[in-house]
Amino acid sequence: MGIIVIGMNHKTAPLHIRERLSLSCDDNSRMLDEVKDISQVREVMYLATCNRVEVVANIEDSVSGVERLKFFIFSHGNLSHDEMKECLYIYRDHEAVRHLFRVASSLDSMVMGEPQILGQVKDAYRHCVEHKASGIILNKLLHHAFRVAKRVRTETGIANNAVSVSFAAVELAKKIFGYLSGKTVLIIGAGEMSELAAKHLMNNGVSKIVFANRTYENAVRLANDFHGIPIGFNLLEEKLKEVDIVISSTGAPGYIITERMIVEALRRRKNRLIFLIDIAVPRDVDPAVEDIDNVFLYNIDNLQEIVDENVKNRMREADKAEAIIADEVTNFSNWLNTLEVVPAIVSLRNKADSIIDNELEKSLSWMKDMKEDEKEKIKILASSVINKLLHDPITRLKEESQNGGADSYVAAIMRLFKLETDD
């Protein structure tokens, strides 16, 4: 019996290899069934995200089991021997538990602290339960991992503060406007960054997005994607008087938004605050506007500085998270160790119970004249003698298991009491 993690992530394998493995395993259910068919595999979970492909399993005989699991992944991903050697990692027992806890807590993620991974682990686990691929160990392990992830999230600041430019922009907007529902955003030009920002702003409650583009067709296309309003550049100045947030990312050589335009817009909008985000290089917004009251201008470098500061902060918090995980790995190992002695204890108890039953049956002949309550008292006496006798060895066995040295005791008990387990 042993927990094992075999897999690859964004650190060990380049995208094209992860892709190959992940695609071949695309049919998640078939994948699980096939791994389950490996005789040494007792329980198995399969986790695939865009940054990692992992198999978490409880396998019987470590050596041959690992080899067969490795071979399975190897053949599935169509990996060459070198690729496999370079990209795959294998964690066993404590290390496997630690790895899973780190993954679930988002310490192993490309963007440390990102929240999606926990949901992905949960999905993978649900899938595994649906296919009856989980058992006592994986169930306990995964539930423990979810608890650890929650602890890390609430007790450390690992998930605090934006670590992407577009999230940083959203956070700043919230510090200016309080909340974003009912606010209007103007997006000038097209580009990956502005689309991402538009998506984040919408997720945070922005209800109306206006897309401006020199080519009106492009504005219409974006507006269709985001249920926004397309406008041409001729209406830009008009719109500046109503919108709250402006994101500009055109390829224009000069300033699209000039100081005069902002001064004029501010007068017409009765000085309502306006937040300008200029992510274009060269810049779209005249830097002079930042000296105007109630106007806030951030360019790409300003936002990047915030992100850098936040990343540093998360690094510091990660140390706290590692300590929590170390703690929880010990907790889980303790439970796992107790598991080693459980079969011995169960069969010891079974044997004791059957002895009592047998002996009482034999005594029935001379007990037949006794009253019911007297028979009952004799039964109680017999089982309490047995319990007293077993109490100390069982306690001792559990204690030894916590120290990790129960093997010899289990063997001795099995031999001395002539026990057999199903194991």
Partner 1 sequence: MEKLLFKVALAAYFFSAVGYITSILVKRVFIAKTSTWVLLTAFAIHSLSIIVRWVGTGYSPVTNIFESLSFIAWAISGSYVAFQLKTKTRVLGAFVSPLAFLLMMVASVKLVDNVSMPAILQGYWVPFHIILSLVGEALFALACLAGVMYLIQDNLIKKKKSYRFTRLLPPLRDLDKINHVSLLWGFPLMTLGVIAGSIWARTVWGSHWQWDPKQIWTMISWFLYAFLLHQRLAIGWKGRKAAVFSILAFSILLFTVIGVNIFFLSVHNFM
Q: Contact residues for partner 1 (CB under 8 A)?
A: 161, 172, 174-178, 270-273, 290, 293-294, 296, 298, 302, 305-306, 309-310
* Closest CB 41 distance from partner 1, rounded Å: 46
Nearer to partner 1, 273 or 352 (CB): 273
CB of 355 to partner 1, least distance (A): 57
Return the number of the residue (75 or 304) whose C-beta is nearest partner 1: 304
Q: Which of 25, 50, 87, 128 is catalytic?
A: 50
Concerning whether 87 is annotated as a catalytic residue, the answer is no
Nearby residues of 286 by Cβ (< 8 Å), 6 or more positions away = 255, 257, 258, 259, 262
Side by side, the strands of the sheet bearing 274-278 are 229-232, 208-213, 184-188, 245-248, 274-278, 295-299
H or E stretch at 297: strand 295-299
**Torsion from C-alpha of 283, 287, 292, 294, nearest 10 degrees:** 40
Question: Under the phi-then-psi rule, with left for phi > 0, alpha for psi from -120 to 50, and beta for the rest, what region is 57?
Answer: beta
Q: What's the min distance (Å) between Cβ of 285 and partner 1?
A: 14
Q: How far is the CB of 39 from partner 1 (least distance, A)?
A: 53
Helix axes 28-37, 62-77, angle to 10 degrees: 150
Tokens 């120290």 belong to residue: 403
Residue closer to partner 1 (CB basis): 175 or 368: 175
Comparison of 93 and 290: residue with beta carbon closer to partner 1? 290
Work out how close the CB of 185 gets to partner 1 at its nearest, in angstroms, rounded to a whole number. 16
Contact 162, 298 (CB under 8 A): no
Contact 169, 277 (CB under 8 A): yes
According to DSSP H, which parts of 211-299 are helical? 216-226, 236-239, 259-268
Residues noted as catalytic: 50
